[in-house]
Amino acid sequence: MTEKEKRAQGLLYDANYNPEISQELLACKDICFQYNQILPSHEEERCALMKQLLGKTGKAFCIQPPFWCDFGYNIEIGENFYANHGCIILDGAKVTFGDNVFVAPNCGFHTAGHPLDVEQRNQGLEYAWPITVGDNVWIGANVTVLPGVTIGSGSVIGAGSVVNRDIPSGVIAAGNPCRVVREITEEDRDRYRRGMYRK
């Protein structure tokens, strides 16, 4: 079994010293660096390069630089995906975003984890477990999503949260560790009326 096959199965694999993985990682970092140097006004150029990098995109999306990922081909984004500045996706395993996902600044999605055993860790062994984000999810600023997590459709993750467990659909969840605060209700439709702050 190759190291990439081990990785795909969620097993410990050589993430640091395998030549094939190291070459792919370096190639991805070069593309990310290139992307982060493109002028913000050159939207078509940015979009084309991101389509080259990612495994799947919708027709309409925006990823604000700086953006970093490990491989790119393990990332799938749906329609109307938006990631604000400072998004980091460590995509040793699949990271899948549904439609209409909004990611605030400085968020991280980390499929990579390390063994607790120091000898295995010092050998460069890691594991990678997939992350899945449903449709219509809003992820607040400075959120960290850890390996193996699924966030259900329509949910909101509060700023600064560390998401280390699955979050169901249609809820507000926040904290470290992230926990469900309450369900999103019909009353939330009127919480922020348009124009309510105009003088």
Catalytic residue numbers? 114
Secondary structure (3-state) at 20: helix
Distance of CA 156 to the CA centre of its chain: 15
Instruction: State the sign of the Cα–Cα–Cα–Cα dihedral 145, 146, 152, 158.
Output: negative
Q: Which residues contact 184 (CB under 8 A, 6 or more apart)?
A: 154, 155, 156, 170, 171, 172
